[in-house]
Structure 1
Amino acid sequence: MSFKREKFALMKKIILDQKDISKIKRRRTFAIISHPDSGKTTITEKFLLLGKVIHQTGIIKPKRFKKYTKSDWMDIERQRGISINTSVMSFSYLGYHINLLDTPGHEDFSEDTYRVLTAVDCCLIIIDGSKSVESRTEKLMKVARIKKIPIITFINKIDRNTYNYIKILDDIERKLKIFCVPINWPIGCGKLFKGIYDIYTNKISLFTQNSLIKVIKKNIFLNHNDFFLRKYLEKNEILQLLEDLELIQSCYNSFNKRKFLQGKETPLFFGSALNNFGIKNILNKIVLWAPYPKIRNSLTRKVFSIEKYFSGFVFKIQANMNPKHHDRIAFIRIVSGKYTEGMKFYHVRTKKIKIIKNAVNFIAGERCLIKKAYPGDIIGIHHMGDIKIGDTFTEGELINFIEVPKFAPEYFKIIYLKDSFQQKKLLRGLKQLSEEGVISFFQTFIDRSLILGVIGKLQFDIVLERLKIEYHVVAKYRKTDISIIRWISSTNKKAFEIFKKENDLFLAYDNDNEIIFFTTNIFKLNLIKSQYKDIYFSEMKRF
């Protein structure tokens, strides 16, 4: 096929055949986001159980997956009980193809989560019922609102002592700035938790200690004298439920799918992930309500999923998914067309053509070679360092979907070696880890010292451990007074050369050989800005 630009005026009007379009309509791509320890990983596991990907709890990642990911064998992750990378998982459920992205909860890994939100069509937010809305959830929700991503909310751990349920809804509306629509409502909480009443189907699901769910009497008309209810619930529990439902009816709107898809309101569910109570209902509603892949805005035009020609963008890069080979995988969200084995990708940034024969997808952590993939799917392709986060791939059209921002690091240390013979290994390791977009490293102009910059302090420990395990490099840190870096540029070449000559003690190269200025405080930065009017200082870099 020709890659001439003028052909695309016609090409973009061509759509896929109905068989392929029907496959797109059965795609659901969503992320699970939450504050740490809200039950996100447990819910992911329950979804995989429902999708029959795994057959018992505690094995989200099979044993042979250990050679592909750090999550199983990093001591620091086991010790702290956190996820440090987004997991991409695909499975089938009720005839639908589910693409699930389980994101890191810890704020030190927030950049990974923010980028994931560019690649999904819906989000499931998990809130710990015993803690209500927490700070990390607020920050994630701000990003989701900017992108107008539809949100489904699950209040977890209601079999423990929880906040007042109405207060949780008030917190969600006040802190997350989104209207709540309760779909079901709990009966009791903690040790007195009895079950869930479904407001829209008039069913009651009873909670039992052996985690079995018993649904009683369809089309219940709640009444404190109802014989069936009195068989399972105390009179005061029925009266409390009646009172709660009356309040809900008067204060909250009924579910409106259009407003949900616009990101204006969130359907809200209650349950217990650990006891697998209410999880199936959530996945059923994701399948029923979440949007299938439709339209994505590029920087030049809207791209429809049903267009015939392939397009997609890189939202994540992972180094060393197979530590034995130091491989790198670029994760591509397909936007339009379809991937077929051996097809040609046009790499828009580099203007080069790649033939892709070994794209993979992910099922509970295992990589599988694939022959076809459709919009909404996440595919992984191997690369040798020539792909960056934010890159766009097409069949020839010159479009770009996103410019992923990289924010300036907030914490800095000098990283060095005891054994100088490992310097090449260290540089290779830092380069590959920085390609993931989570850390930054810089080499100073004068003495080529290595400065490591991170968003969260926990990253310092992660980097040392990954260097040791994945690259066999033992590195150490020493303190530095650096607290601020800015990427610098200028349209005045002469002024730029003068600035570099006069400030070389405070300059360094980043991984892409772009120049940064570093200093110890904002006062000194402002002073330099006032002295060099032709130099532009940016705290953000576009990939």
Structure 2
Amino acid sequence: MVTENYKSLLESPDRDIALSKVRNIGIMAHIDAGKTNCTERILLYTGVNYKVGEVHDGTATMDWMEQEQERGITITSAATTCFWNKHRINIIDTPGHVDFTAEVERSLRVLDGAVGVFCAVAGVQPQSETVWRQANKYNVPVVAFVNKMDRIGSDYFRVINDIKETLKVNAVAVQVPMGEEEDFVGVIDVITRKAFFFEGEHGTEVITKEIPDEYKEKVEEVYHHLLEAVSEINEEVAEIYLNDEEPDADTLIAAIRSSVLKAELVPVLCGTAFKNKGVQPLLDAVLNYLPSPVDLETISGMDPKSNKEITWPVSDNEELSALAFKIMTDPFVGRLIYFRLYSGTLKKGQTIYNPR
């Protein structure tokens, strides 16, 4: 666990947002699971965009290439930044097509966490397995989002079982859907016992209500299943559970977060990005469960002088260390290089050393 004293040593006085409030995440999925639609809603709800870009009509912000707009798929990894509840979220929207797997792997290498998007009808698909293996390779913690809950044949709990059996992970529901297929109207958070409905244009207004009576029994069932799963891997929750008590929401969320960072648990949420339902709670889950750069504590690499592996703190006050993960050409500014900064600071006009 990272201490507050340790955190204070990491921060530069020039930093506007503390490292502990930064999330570097990727959105990964099989093609057509709704990954880019999900990202577009995130950009709308966080105020980056004032209108929704749609994949089907070629206006998605993250699909900037002409070929992407023509085909309605993501080919290259696109990066953007947004802000939610006083946190900074840096997002990389990765390709879902199997032909662009190398592009996905380059992106996953620089992420702290990821959102795995699954189709509520198709469940785990071939590219879902590929990107999940890549996330495991680079120790990237993941939360899952079952998208397209409005589609005919959608089944949230079947997809969760599919994730468990196919990907061999401890996937556990933290939400219960209200309605199914065309009658899907919102989600229930089983931890806070609150129901969320999404109203207004593009679902920008989140209405919080008490759980409707017809869902109370299912919510209790899912909650106790979650509690059992967490108590098996968290001593604090286990002690509370064995005493026939319930942990408060903050304790349970902290326990889930700890388990996610250790790759012991995958919390699963649901919604329909295209119909503007369930994305705001997903943003909350990104903040609650996925790691900040502070959670890395140290980074390893090769010393260019001695050619030996060394380890150093993830800190603004260390020497500059970064990894270039994407190069693109902009018609206005020329060549752009995207960096993941691991330590130190990078300023305009600064000369940096490339050891390769």
Report the TM-score when normalising by structure 2. Answer: 0.78
Match of 2:124 among 108, 126, 133: 133
Amino acid at match of 2:124: V
| 2:143–2:289 contact (8 Å) kept in structure 1 | no
Which residue of the partner structure matches residue 5 of structure 1? Answer: none
Report matched runs for 1:419-430 at 5 Å.
Answer: none
The answer for the alignment partner of 1:169 in structure 2 is 160
Could you tell me whether the CA contact under 8 Å between 1:207 and 1:277 is conserved in 2? yes
- Alignment of 1:265 with 2:241, yes or no, is no
Structure 2 matches for 1:382-393, cutoff 5 A?
none
139, 142, 149: which one aligns with 2:133: 142
1:257 Cα deviation from its structure 2 partner: 1.7
Check conservation: 1:31, 1:124, Cα contact below 8 A. Answer: yes
Q: Deviations over 1:262-308 (max 9, x none)?
A: 12211110111112211111112212332111332214122322143
Shift of 1:148: 1.7
5 Å-filtered alignment, 1:27-66, equals: 27-58=22-53
1:312 maps to a residue whose letter is A
Deviation at 1:16, TM superposition (A): 5.3
Which position in structure 2 is the counterpart of 1:249?
A: 224
Match of 2:330 in 1: 321
Q: Which residue of 2 aligns with 1:291?
A: 291
The 8 Å contact of residues 29 and 120 in structure 1, kept in 2 or not, is answered as yes
Match of 2:77 among 75, 86, 91: 86
Q: 1:242 to 1:22 in 2, by over 3 A?
A: same
2:174 to 163, 183, 186: 183
Q: 2:29, 2:196 → 1: CA distance?
A: 26
Name structure 2 gaps, 5 residues minimum. Answer: 1-8, 231-254, 303-308
Q: Identify the range of structure 1 (149-158 vs 246-255) with the bigger mean alpha-carbon deviation.
A: 246-255
Please give the per-residue CA displacement for 1:342-380, whole angstroms capped at 9, x wherever unaligned. 22211212xxxxxxxxxxxxxxxxxxxxxxxxxxxxxxx
CA distance in 2, matches of 1:94, 1:245: 28
Once residues 317 and 87 of structure 1 are traced to their aligned partners in structure 2, the CA distance between those partners, rounded to angstroms, is 11
Q: Is 1:215 equivalent to 2:225 in the alignment? A: no
- Give the direction of change, closer, same or farther, for the CA distance of 1:131–1:329 in structure 2 (3 Å limit): same
What's the counterpart of residue 528 of structure 1?
none
Shift in CA distance, 285/87, structure 1 to aligned 2, threshold 3 Å: same
TM-score (norm 1): 0.52
Check 1:302–1:81 CA distance in 2 against 1; reply closer, same or farther (3 A cut): same
Question: For the structure 1 residues 200 and 250, does the alpha-carbon distance in structure 2 shift closer, same or farther, using more than 3 Å as the test?
Answer: closer
Aligned ranges 1:528-543 → 2 under 5 Å: none
Q: How far 1:52 sits from its partner (Å)?
A: 1.0
Q: CA deviation at 1:88?
A: 0.7
Distance 1:208 1:150, change over 3 A: same
Check the 8 A contact 1:35/1:106 in 2, yes or no.
yes
> 1:318-467 counterparts in 2 under 5 A?
318=328, 320-322=329-331, 327-349=334-356
What SS does the corresponding residue of 1:274 show, helix, strand or coil? coil
Question: Given that residues 149 and 262 in structure 1 are in contact (C-alpha distance below 8 angstroms), is that contact kept between their aligned partners in structure 2?
Answer: no
Specify the alignment match of 2:151 in structure 1: 160
Distance 1:215 1:30, change over 3 A: same
Identity %: 25
Q: Give the AA of the match of 1:32.
A: I
Look at both structures and tell me which one has the larger radius of gyration over its CA atoms: 1
- Give 1 or 2: higher helix fraction: 2
1:305 pairs with 2:314? yes
Q: Aligned equivalents of 2:311 and 2:343: distance in 1?
A: 11
Distance in 2 separating the partners of 1:123 and 1:297: 21
| 8 Å CA contact retained: 1:16, 1:308 | no
The verdict on how the C-alpha distance between 1:242 and 1:174 changes in structure 2, with shifts beyond 3 A counting, is: same
* Cα deviation digits, residues 194-221 of structure 1 (max 9, x gap): 432210011112467974643222xx5x
- Matches of 1:277 and 1:267, distance apart in 2: 18
Separation of aligned partners in 2, 1:73 and 1:22: 31
Structure-to-structure mapping, 1:499-518, within 5 angstroms: none
- Contact 2:154 2:181 (C-alpha < 8 Å) held by counterparts: no
Q: Helix, strand or coil for the counterpart of 1:82?
A: coil
What secondary structure is seen at the aligned counterpart in 2 of 1:277?
Answer: coil
TM-aligned CA deviation for residue 157 of structure 1: 1.1
- Distance in 2 (CA, whole Å) between partners of 1:246 and 1:288 is 23
In the aligned structure 1, how far is the partner of 2:54 from the partner of 2:154?
31
For the 8 Å contact 2:256–2:289, the answer to whether it is kept is no
Q: Which amino acid aligns with 1:303?
A: W
Q: 2:91 aligns with which of 96, 100, 107?
A: 100
Note the aligned Cα RMSD (angstroms): 3.0
Structure 1 CA distance for aligned equivalents of residues 43 and 229 of structure 2: 32
- In structure 2, what is the Cα distance between the partners aligned to 1:265 and 1:142? 16
Structure 1 pair 59–171 and aligned structure 2 pair: CA distance change class (3 A): closer
Pair 246,26 (structure 1): closer, same or farther in 2 beyond 3 Å: closer
Report the alpha carbon displacement of residue 18 of structure 1 after superposing the two structures with TM.
5.7
Indicate the residue corresponding to 2:105 in structure 1.
114
Instruction: Return the offset for 1:316.
Output: 1.9
- What is the distance in 1 between the residues matched to 2:166 and 2:223? 19
Q: Which amino acid aligns with 1:261?
A: L
The one of 193, 207, 214 equivalent to 1:202 is 193
Superposed CA deviations along residues 509-539 of structure 1, whole A, max 9, x for unmatched, are xxxxxxxxxxxxxxxxxxxxxxxxxxxxxxx
Greater RCO (Cα-Cα under 8 Å, separation 6 or more):
2
Q: Does 1:26 align with 2:6?
A: no
